[in-house]
Structure 1
Amino acid sequence: MATVSTVDLEPLAVRAAAPTDLPALPDGVGLTWRALTPDDLPAWFALCEVVEDHDNANERAAESELADHFKGAWRDPARDSVAGFDADGTIRAYSWSEFRQVTEGTLAPTLFGAVHPDYRRRGIGRALLAWSEARGRQQLAAATVNLPARIRLYLDESHADARRMAETVGFTPIRWYVDMRRDLGVELPAGDVPEGLRIEPYSKERDEDIRIAHNESFARDHWGSSSIDAEAWALDVVGGEKFQPDWSFAAVEEATGRVVGYLLSGAYDQDWGPQGFTEGWTDVLSVRREWRGRGLAGALLTAAMRAYAAGGMQYAGLDVDTDNPTGALGVYTRLGYERRLGSLLLTKEI
């Protein structure tokens, strides 16, 4: 991924055009607005379940994953989230702008939220999007480094109404992603490991080496990615309830002991019922530049497939940026992965 020069960038505090006050949220819709707290988790999760079922979402949230949004020194739910409660205390809508400052790459708050189906067509979704975008601009304006920046919004490809609303207020589709799956009942590839390397199961002893490899390969070479510090890695990558260390692997250079590739997996069992099959999910896969083109990615994926199958999974799954410069889409297709669903990223470039 090419490095963007910051020499000619206006100060981010200027580019962000952050408002002093966040926009007002709708009155007269039967909702009271306040920030989310950990005590709201059951009600928040209940809303997510209703919305995801109604919208046939590509991925479903687990309550433990929602709880993770209240962890981490960089998160500030009291300022970054808002939810609408009805007279019975039921959450009917929410929005969140989540932001972690980095020191290189791109600064990028991510917006997410939902409105209960019974409360749609009242201007609530548009108001929440405006609120979270404004909060994202405030987050960027307060950043202590001057880097390229964007405000991000990820949507399922099938969610045409949400996309239309976002585009109406100036968000632009910029990247497309494909969810793929591979039938584990079909003969698996040989998965030959390149000479000079060995593939090891994930271990805590290798964890920091894997994080460093991530920052020096995936974060630098994959569009829109940034480095991740030890706290965020421990919380969001290998510390979640869904992370599966037994399905995760590191490729180690035998001569040096250096990690040159890795694959991290999760078991998102909340998705299995709605999608109709069990699946081992590849969360992150990367190979250092000097080892690309030698079959290492395929060897790591094959090791993961074997682990998924041994765990009783029917399919291996992953998603990929269709413009991935490493040729990942072709690698996956050759290994037998097939397209299942699509999603996209819309942004406002700052």
Structure 2
Amino acid sequence: MSTVDHEPLAVRAAAPAELPALPSGVGLTWRALTPADVPAWFALHQVVDDHDKAIERLAESELTDRFKGGWRDPALDSVAGFDADGHVRAYAWTEFRPVTEGTHAPVLFGAVHPGYRRRGIGRALLAWSEGRARQRLATAEVELPARIRIYLDGHHAEARRLAEACGYAPKRYYVVMRRDLSVPLPAGDVPEGLRIEPYDKERDEDVRVTHNESFARDHWGSSPIDAEAWSLDVVGGEKFRPDWSFMAVEESTGRIAGYLMSGAYDQDWKPQGYTEGWTDLVAVRREWRGRGVAGALLTAAMRAYRAGDMQYAGLDVDTDNPTGALGTYTRLGYEQRQNSVLLTKEI
């Protein structure tokens, strides 16, 4: 169905006038999160991530960053349950960045302390955050397809049962992969006509445009990233490693043909038992695909990770990626490990 075939998004969103009430009688006081709550919010995540054996752990700085960005409204998009001692025991956060092409796709985050589960809190928070997502969608200025998203680790069966009971359906599957850096690295031959250069902050806007013209338009579920979101969520975070990031540049024109962005998520290293350089994003312009550009970028990153005393290179991939990324990574020596799932409601 094309965009023009849809009913107006304000109608499709079916936004509630009032958000669902949150549970009373569970020993919690409900209010929006503020920057001052970050330490208590982070403490909840540490307990939950350990209990649920989360594939990716959140850093405190990443929670702080949630309060940045003009598209975010934490006073309306978040809610948390505080116990009598001021500890955060549960929360929900609706993240929605309107786009001008692609798909409007708010994503729902949330967690409940293990000691407060099976009291209906998780179901109530999911209903609250979905209601808020629908309210945000109803205000979108550009008419586009829309979906509400929840990402879950593949082994988190309890959370998946809850999501499916609330009407969410599996839409996409992802695999976490790692590559042992102690064994010989691939040659990483650079295609003729290109050179691999370290990431250069002066070319950041060129990299963002390359992302939008390659990754965002050719990968399922992706939409263009504007300059503000790019500066905050891609290159502005504490974990971003520009020294582990690279650009493939056309020698004749200076145009960026592909790029790779890396991070050092050290909060994951102890729980997973090894250090790792993580590839956040890698993309190649359509006209350069099939020539080994991604392999050259990934090899450059692997060399940088190893020089930084990392034991593994890591990344995740959509198992249905149409560019054949899963095969590329496998040929470079990456091995599949954990998996995650995207569940959605199509709007």
Query: TM-score surpassing 0.5?
Result: yes
- 1:48 corresponds to which letter in structure 2? H
Q: Report the Cα distance in structure 2 between the residues aligned to 1:165 and 1:183, rounded to whole angstroms.
A: 36
SS of aligned partner of 1:199: strand
Residue in structure 1 matched with residue 282 of structure 2 by the alignment: 285
SS of aligned partner of 2:3: coil
Shift of 1:102: 0.4
CA offsets, 1:151-171, max 9 Å, x none? 000000000000000000100
CA offsets, 1:233-281, max 9 Å, x none? 0000000000000000000001111001000000000000000000000
Residue in structure 1 matched with residue 147 of structure 2 by the alignment: 150
Q: Report the Cα distance in structure 2 between the residues aligned to 1:332 and 1:319, rounded to whole angstroms.
A: 10
- Pairs within 5 Å for 1:49-128: 49-128=46-125
Q: Report the Cα distance in structure 1 between the residues aligned to 2:65 and 2:168, rounded to whole angstroms.
A: 27
CA offsets, 1:28-48, max 9 Å, x none? 000000000000000000000
Q: Report the Cα distance in structure 2 between the residues aligned to 1:122 and 1:66, rounded to whole angstroms.
A: 26
Q: Report the Cα distance in structure 1 between the residues aligned to 2:304 and 2:38, rounded to whole angstroms.
A: 33
Q: Report the Cα distance in structure 1 between the residues aligned to 2:161 and 2:168, rounded to whole angstroms.
A: 9
Q: Report the Cα distance in structure 1 between the residues aligned to 2:202 and 2:195, rounded to whole angstroms.
A: 16
What is the aligned-residue identity percentage?
80
Shift of 1:119: 0.1
Residue 13 in structure 1 maps to residue 10 in structure 2: yes
CA offsets, 1:48-106, max 9 Å, x none? 00000000000100000000100001000000000000011110000000000000000
State the aligned residue count: 347
Residue in structure 1 matched with residue 305 of structure 2 by the alignment: 308
Unmatched segments (≥5 aa) in structure 1 = none
The alignment's TM-score, normalised by the length of structure 2, stands at 1.00
Shift of 1:5: 2.8
Unmatched segments (≥5 aa) in structure 2 = none
CA offsets, 1:100-148, max 9 Å, x none? 0000000000001000000000000000000000000000001001100
Residue 28 in structure 1 maps to residue 14 in structure 2: no
SS of aligned partner of 1:70: coil
Residue in structure 1 matched with residue 265 of structure 2 by the alignment: 268
Q: Report the Cα distance in structure 2 between the residues aligned to 1:213 and 1:56, rounded to whole angstroms.
A: 35
Residue in structure 2 matched with residue 259 of structure 1 by the alignment: 256
Residue in structure 1 matched with residue 194 of structure 2 by the alignment: 197
- Pairs within 5 Å for 1:101-250: 101-250=98-247
The alignment's TM-score, normalised by the length of structure 1, stands at 0.99
- 2:105 corresponds to which letter in structure 1? A
